[in-house]
Amino acid sequence: MNKTENNKPVFLWMHSRKLLNQYFIKNKNYQKLNINFNLLKAFISLCLSFIFQRNFLFNFYLTLPKENNIKYFLIKIYSIMFASLIRNQFGNAIFIIGDVSYPTYQSLLLSSSYFKKIDLWIIYQGTGSIEEKINIKYPSNVKKIFFPFAKDSLSENTILKKASKLNKIEFINIDTSLNINLSNNNNLAIFVGYNKKYNLYPFYVFNIIKIILNISLIKELDNFDSVIIFLHPRIEFIRFLNIFILKSRVRYRIFNNKTKNFYKYVISYSPTINSSFKLKIKSNKNVLIDIGKNFNIKDIKNKIRTFSK
């Protein structure tokens, strides 16, 4: 990817607290825009628009969704602010935004779609609910949608190819193959997952912590030389539990794909991780994959006992 495409400058909208497109776009030439800083600029732009561009604000507001709840109230406010900013500061451009299920990115989607000279690229942070995300009715100026998974993953590639044929949007894979190899050592890796029907913060996270603590108390873990519990990046603070050595062989980490990782056994409850396993890893009998809502002590125990049979 070059700095410009079709003679349009490319702007990468960055959210400091969301692990989204900054991990997938490696080209340093794109102009990065800090969302929080630009929200401040957007507020100033909105104030000026109330004075000089009221007709524009009214016409734009009429295009917004009719839903009336707290979430959409916030989305509408952000959308109006971003629309004011875009009208005053951007012409022809390509915007790269993240998962549109987040209010700020959904607001950017709504505001940017009003300006037909702006092309939109969307980067999802995982493959969870991939078919639902593909079937969303996107604005006409959404040109490309990216999903991260292992490039040899058959099911996801098939879904994207079919979707690209049926739509005017390009559905593209970003290769996120995991640097994991199976070996003859006696080490176990467990990737934490969670039920996405619940908000991770503020209360559900305590349930996750409870499960993670109870994992270290599973008796069958004594059969392994080491057990690494890989945390979701949004709960990396749980690594402080390493201070309290419940079992010396159990450690909490964030997965680092820059280094080679060797395990004999792998259990994963993360759809994103599951999609990033290379095909030969995913098909191995010592690799057990599941969905986040099944991340509980009973299921983990059953999977560990499977390795002992």
pLDDT per position as a tens digit, 143-164: 999 998 998 888 889 999 999 9
Ramachandran area for residue 290 (φ above 0: left; ψ -120 to 50: alpha; else beta): beta
Count how many Cα atoms sit within 13 Å of the Cα of residue 74 in the half-sphere of its side chain.
8
Count how many Cα atoms sit within 13 Å of the Cα of residue 128 in the half-sphere of its side chain.
18
Confidence of residue 105 (pLDDT cuts 50, 70, 90): very high
Site of tokens 């490309």? 144
* Sign for the pseudo-dihedral over CA of 128, 26, 18, 138: negative
- pLDDT of 27 reads 55
- pLDDT of 75 reads 92
Higher pLDDT, 226 or 67: 226
SS3 228: strand
Confidence of residue 2 (pLDDT cuts 50, 70, 90): very low
- pLDDT of 6 reads 67
Sorted by sequence, the CB contacts under 8 Å of residue 17 that are 6+ apart come out as: none
Strands, E assignment, 40-197: 93-97, 118-123, 142-149, 170-175, 180-182, 187-191
Site of tokens 């969303």? 136
Instruction: Indicate the average pLDDT of the chain.
Output: 86
- Region 111-115: mean pLDDT is 94
Q: Which pTM value belongs to this model? A: 0.79
Give me the torsion for CA of 27, 275, 135, 110, rounded to 10°: -40
| Least confident stretch, 49-58, 114-123, 179-188, 259-268 | 49-58
Residue 233 is classified by DSSP as G
Closest CA relative to residue 125, chosen from 102, 148, 143? 148
Structural contact between residues 73 and 47, judged by C-beta atoms closer than 8 angstroms: no
- pLDDT of 16 reads 59
Q: Evaluate if residue 1 carries a pLDDT over 80.
A: no
- Could you count the other beta carbons within 10 Å of the beta carbon of residue 266? 25
Ramachandran area for residue 266 (φ above 0: left; ψ -120 to 50: alpha; else beta): beta
- Region 159-186: mean pLDDT is 90
| Least confident stretch, 51-55, 92-96, 118-122, 190-194 | 51-55
308 sits in which H/E element: helix 297-308
Residue 112 is classified by DSSP as H
